[in-house]
Every structure is written in C-alpha cells, then in structure tokens.
Structure 1
Amino acid sequence: MTDRADTLRSELRARLPDQLPPRLGVAVSGGGDSVALLHLLHEITQIEQTQLFAATVNHGLRPEAAAEADHVADLAARLGVPHETLLWQGWDGAGNLQDQARQARYRLLTDWARRNDIPAIALGHTADDQAETVLMRLGRAAGVSGLSGMPYARDQNGVTLLRPMLRITRQDLRDYLSRLGERWIEDPSNHDQKFDRIKAREALTGLGGLGISAQSLARVAENLAQAREALARYTQESARKFATIEGGDVCIDRNGFGLLPVEIQRRLVVGIIGWIAGQGYPPRGAAVDQAVTAVGAGQTLTLAGCLLIPHQDKTWFCRELNAVATETAAPQEVWDDRWVLTGPLTADAEVRALGEAGLPQVPEWRAMGKPRRALLSSPAVWSGENLLAAPLVDYSNGWKAEFASHRPEFYSSLLSH
C-alpha cells in the first residue's frame, strides 16, 4: 500500500505547480476520483504547509445530492479540511442540461475561490476522463486543440484550474481508496447510456485489442497539447503584429490577417471572441469559419455576443449591444464581467451600456475614429436617463473605466486557452 500510495502522490505532485500557493482549493463531488484527490492532496499539503480547502457543488438535480454533499463535508471534517457546499439555483430548463450544469459548476467554484482568496482549485479528472474526452472529440472531427483534451492547468475567471491526475487511472484511485478503507459515492448517471461520455467509456473497453487504452489516449492528448502550445505562441506573435486594443475592443489589420495560415486565423478569432465575451466554450467550427471569411471579405457579423465591424482596411471586434443591453451594476462593481467604473460619489449613479440613447449625449464621439456601433456597447454611468460619463468614449467627467482584476491582458490570454 505504501509504495503504491507514494507512486500516486509522486505522480500527482509532478503535475502541480513547483511552489504550491499558500491556500489551495479542491473540488470534491464524493465520487471515487475526487475523494482520492482530497486524500492525496491532504497528505501533500500537510508536508508542504499549504492550507487546503474543499468545496462540493450540489446541482440539486437528484434527491441524494444533499446527502452526498453532507458525506463530503463529514470526510473533510475528519481530515481537518474546511469545506463548503455550493448550491446551484436558477436553471430555467433551457439548453443542454449537462452543459449548463458544467458551466454553473465552474462558475460556483471560481466564485468560491475568489471569495476565499484561493488562487487555484484542483479537479479530479483522470486519464480515463481524458481518454473519453478524446474519443468524443474524434466523433466531432476535432482538430489539434480538441484532440489535445483537457489541459493540466488553465485560467478561468481569475482562478487557476488544476488537473493533476490526468495520467492516473480511475481504477488506480479506487484501489488506493479500498486499501485506505475509504468509501465513495457512485453517481447513477455514470451508467446512463443517453450521455455521450458514457458511450465513450463503454467504447473504450472494447479497444484494448488495438492497444488503445486510457493511458495511451491520455498520452496522445499530451503530445497534441505540445502542438497546441506551439500554435498558441504563433497566434500570439501574429496578434502582436496585426491586432491592436482600443478601449476593450480588438482591431485587426485585414491585410495582415489574410497572410496568416487558416489555422492561425481561426485561433486568433476564437481568442478575440473569448477575451471580449468571456471564457465560455468557444464557438463551433462552422461559426468560426464564417467569422474568418467575414474578416477577409470585410463583412459585418454577429457571433457569440460579439460584433465584427469592417471599417476602412480594419475589422473591429467589439461587444454586441444586445448582449449587454440589460446589464447593470453599481459604480465600483464589475459590469459585463470585465469593467469596473469609478468616479465622483453620486447617489443614484448606475453603470449601463452607452446605447443609442447615450451616444447623442457625447459631444465628440466622431473624433474617436471608431465605428459607431463599436461605441454603443461601451460602459457608461447614468443617473436615470441622464448620461453622467462614458470614459471609453472620451467623455469621462472624472470617471474612469478599468478592467476587472480577474480579466487577463489580451495578448497573454491567447496562451491560456
């Protein structure tokens, strides 16, 4: 037991940052993978004097979910690890349930981490999860990025998500827990054939005769991740040459863009959309191809909450007005998940989009040289129907607009996908 546990700890530790942060989070659902991760991290952080915190997301989709969260809370208490249950509320039944639940899970976890000054969260994805991801993406004819699977680390909402067990199999973790005498919870959805991931899991069991296993597919994903990294650096270099930032918008030189390989054009479009609209799941391939064509042809296009506007020999990528038309925030709060506006104390001030009502109240907006539609979605300060300030449109009146601290700088964001 000791040798095997040492091997697991060593493998896991090798995939964590060289220097652990003073406070580290771990997401624990109660399943075997995350329970094993909690135990292993508890041992590692005790040695390295890092404080460990655990969180469980209760999606409220099954009657057993509350009891499962309580089970994790009891386990965490036994280990002396502070624990919090995060409840997902507000799903209206629209959209794909699994996708909505996944997005909510990451949002709840990163909000929890930021609230508790936790810079990184470890997640319990394994080599089996990576292999299943690769198989599913093969079925969608994915390219290099898709087939490189889940990264070991990535930034989301200003928090680093860590996946240190992508070389460890599900069975190894369950063997480890069995030797510890620790129990875990089996989610019944893990056997539901209506989910693509479960179909991929079943298909993987029949590929052993070809030498295809969870470990081999995880290594394939790692190899392709290295190729993805090289392409990301080429994309960043290209952006520095042909893209400029103007008040939260990205302006592309169309002639320079046209000289780039199509793969780099696609990556640049996806990176710009993600930086402006937020790091959700990127647009589908056909939509990205349409955007690449629109840039080259100098056409206007709406995509994923962004607006592409041709102007002279440039194309502007900006926030679409409809995407923020109903967004409101108080001064000093985050608006549209990226802007913070500060200025003179005004009792009834509110941050909203500049919009069609506000632009005519800005005397010199034409002097900025930006397309009119690119200005409409910029953040502005209102008192009722009276425009107080629009800092990004040269109408500041003592106000300023700054990026929220959790939003990355544009060029560096191209390496974090």
Structure 2
Amino acid sequence: MAALDVIPVVALVALLVTAYSHPRGRVEAGVGLAAAAVTLATGILSWSDVEDTLRHLGPVVVFLVTILVVADVCGRAGLFTAAAARVRDLGHGRPVPIFTGVFLLAAAVTAVLSLDATVVLLTPVVVAAAVATGTSYRPGVHACLRMANSASLLLPVSNLTNLLAMPHLDLTFGGFALVMAPVLAVVLVVEYVALRLLFRRELAAEPELAGPTERPDLPLVPLVVVLAMLAGFALVSPFGIEPWVVSLAAAVVLVAWGRSRGLVGVGEAVHAAHPAFALFVLCLGIVVAALAAGFLGDWVTDLVPDGTGFVSLLGIALLATLLANLLTNLSATLLVVPLLAPLGDTAVLAALLGLNIGSGLSYTGSLANLLWRRGMVRLQHPPSMREFHRVSLIVTPISLISAVAVLSLVT
C-alpha cells in the first residue's frame, strides 16, 4: 500500500467515527468536508472522477433529503400513531396479533418511506403502543429493526443502497420490484418465524392491565400523498425520470399542507431534511471513490466471484455483508456495486442482499441500526447488546441464505 493510500483510509475512519457518534450537523459537515479535502489533495482522483462521483450521488442525496421531509410531516400529522393504533385495536390487546401487525406495518413503512422512517418515527410509536396495551415492547421494536434492513429489498426507494445500485442495473422501478418481491416474501416468512420463536416468552405472556386508549383518525392528506408518491415512482420510471422528482413534489405538497395546519414551518422542514448529513454523504462518496481507485478496490476485485450460480451469488452476498459491517452498507455499496456491474443484474442484486439483510448482523452494518439504538436509549429502554446479537447472529444468516437461494431461482 502506497503512502498516499493511507490518507483516504484515515479519512474514511474519521467519517465512520463521526457517523457512529452522530454529532451536531455543523460538526458532521465539517468532518465530511475536511475528509474530502485531504482525500482530493492526494491526487488519487481527477476532477473528472470527482464530477462523475457527485453526478452519480447527487440524485440519491436529493431523494434522501426529500423523503426525510415527507416522513417528518407524516410523523407530525400522526400517520404512524394512527396506523399503530389500528394495529393495536385489531390485535384486541393480544401480544401475537399485535406483533404480527407491527411486523407488517414496519415492512410497509420501510418499503414506501425508507428504513429511516421505520427506526426513527415508527419505533417510538410501537413502544408507546406496547405500553398502552400492557404488552412487552421488545418483540415489536426488534421487528422494526429487522424490517428496517431486510424489508428494504422490495423497491429501489426503500434504501439508499438500492438507489445507488439502480444506475448499474438494467431494470425499471417495476422490474426491480418484480424480481425482488419473491425474495422479500421468503425473507419476511423467515424473519417472522424466527422472531416469533426468539420472543416466544414475551408473546405468550398475559398483557398487564392498561387504561383506555385513544384511536386517532388517519390523516387523509398525508396518506393520499404517500400513496400517490409510491404510484408516481412506478409510473415515471419507464420514462427515465429519477425518483427524487416525485419525492420532491410530495415533500412540497406536504410542507405546504403542514404549514396551513400549523404542523411544520420552513425552518422545521429544512431541519428535517438534514442538509448536513446530505453533505456528509457526498463527502463520503469522494473518499470511497478514492479507496476504490486504490488498494481496496483491487482487493475487493480479487475477491469477487466470476459467476452467477448459487455458490457465486452466495459468495457475493457474503462479501457485501462483510464490507457492510466493516464500512457501513452505504460505503460498501459505493465500493462494491461498480465492481460487480460487469457480471450483470443478478450479481448486483445479490450484493444488495448482503448490503441490506447482511447489514443487520451488527450495529456497524448500517446507520439505521445505530439510529435505532440511540432512539431506544432516548426512550429510556436501552437495548441489550446480548439480545441484539442473539437475534442478529441467528436470523441474519438464515435470512440471507434463503434470499440468495430464491434470487438464484428467479433470475
């Protein structure tokens, strides 16, 4: 490894430490800019390389900030609270039906509004609903965490990893969903059964006595806008229109509606968009591009299988899992997906299995895991490290292998 190659490595470590500690936006943006600056100073990347990286990441980052605004307004309007209340009522206070409803709701929120909405906005609602019904919150919050990663397989917009991979895939929005739907179906069955078994004691316990609970109305406008946004993603994809165009329109409509109802102001909408994190992602892309052009890219290239049979696809998924848990899945996507593109769509999709499902193996696999843990601490229900790994180390390998097997059959 040349001396210059050390600088992007140090820059990446600084970025990962910052991501894990989640400081204030100014600190996050400052570290990102500093890391990108020292990386560019090495000369590993030409300005043409930088332009290509930013052009590739730009639409993804715009989608990120707009979907965060959409999710925030939906949360302020009470969409998640109302949905959780209906799950609670349909379960009639019984732990198993409530858990099933939470599991499916978390999968749906992840697929439509991205995994961040599940861990940041839905999880606190699930905790509150469990307390209100006198049932254990632990099965539900672990369902939210598992679905935040695994249920993000279905749509290109469910996870930034999918969006980053889309330019390397010869698939439309609908084509991606058609291929991944049977994969996700099997993953949902595996993860549901596994969580039912792992939390069987909590789900078999009698609910404690709880007071009367309210059932808020579903906010009609946010619900209609979200459904229209989902339909819009599918409708515009064949015409080459990026998802950010649709999510931006949805964000504008919801912010305008929220302002008219006194739910959100312009400043609050800007804060919800997390512009510092958007800048951080762009800087991360530059650092990872430099690593990919150097020794790390060569190392990963040597490890990439040269086929698309089941064994090769499993090897790709495991490699992506390893990289996700070492670098976070966002960094790993930027590194490994371009290297796999020459092998075709199936190889890239196999990598997404590792980058999404496999990222649930450890807290370092994805930022969603860390956000979930931080949120649980703020709710005064800090998760047990032992319990997290008991779930992740058992469920993730079974789910990943099952997903690869189905992918190898449908492609």
Same fold by TM-score, threshold 0.5 exceeded?
A: no
Q: Which TM-score applies when normalising by structure 1?
A: 0.26
The structure that is helix-richer by fraction is: 2
The structure that is strand-richer by fraction is: 1
Q: Which has the higher contact order (CA 8 A, sep 6+)?
A: 2
Q: Which TM-score applies when normalising by structure 2?
A: 0.27
Larger radius of gyration: 1
